């Protein structure tokens, strides 16, 4: 993927990644590109360039939906961590993030919620050490 490629969807996707995840998101993307340039391109163009384009949902509502999904999936801890940080970046509070996680105990079960709560706590601690 040529990051300077002049493609509307790609540019829109990269802008959305920067808005939600900041430079950390671009780092994850580069690491994905090393594994599969095609999957990296689809992530930027489709997930961030098309789907997150939205219109009906605010960016905060989008992150709440994504966190809920990642908690319930159970096997997506790296993505959950990235999106919790993204949720905080776009203005969600830690209390809101944790409440989504707690709510998921009802839908995905307690083990999924507990593992997510530990992931969130570990990120919050890291953010506290950074600041």
Among residues 3, 22, 121, 126, the one that binds its own copies under rule CB under 8 A: 121
For residue 62, give the nearest of 33, 32, 91 by alpha carbon. 91
State the binding string over 6-35 for its own copies (x if CB under 8 A, else -).
Answer: -------------------------xx-xx
- Closest to 79 in 3D by CA, of 15, 21, 14: 21
CB 88 within 8 A of CB 100: no
**How many residues sit in the footprint of its own copies (CB under 8 A)?**
60
Q: For the chain, how long is the longest CA-to-CA vector? A: 45
Judged by the rule CB under 8 A, the positions of this chain that interact with its own copies are: 31-32, 34-36, 38-39, 42-43, 46-47, 50-52, 54-57, 61-62, 64-76, 78-79, 93, 95-96, 98-115, 117-118, 120-121
């Amino acid at each position: 993927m040529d990051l300077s490629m002049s493609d509307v969807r790609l540019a829109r996707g990269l802008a959305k990644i920067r808005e939600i995840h900041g430079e950390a998101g671009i780092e994850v993307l580069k690491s994905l590109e090393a594994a599969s340039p095609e999957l990296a391109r689809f992530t930027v163009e489709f997930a961030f360039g098309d789907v997150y384009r939205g219109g009906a949902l605010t960016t905060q509502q989008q992150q709440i939906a994504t966190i809920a999904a990642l908690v319930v999936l159970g096997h997506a801890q790296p993505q959950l961590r990235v999106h919790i940080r993204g949720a905080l970046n776009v203005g969600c509070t830690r209390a809101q993030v944790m409440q989504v996680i707690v709510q998921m105990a009802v839908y995905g079960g307690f083990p999924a919620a507990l593992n997510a709560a530990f992931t969130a706590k570990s990120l919050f601690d890291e953010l506290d050490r950074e600041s």
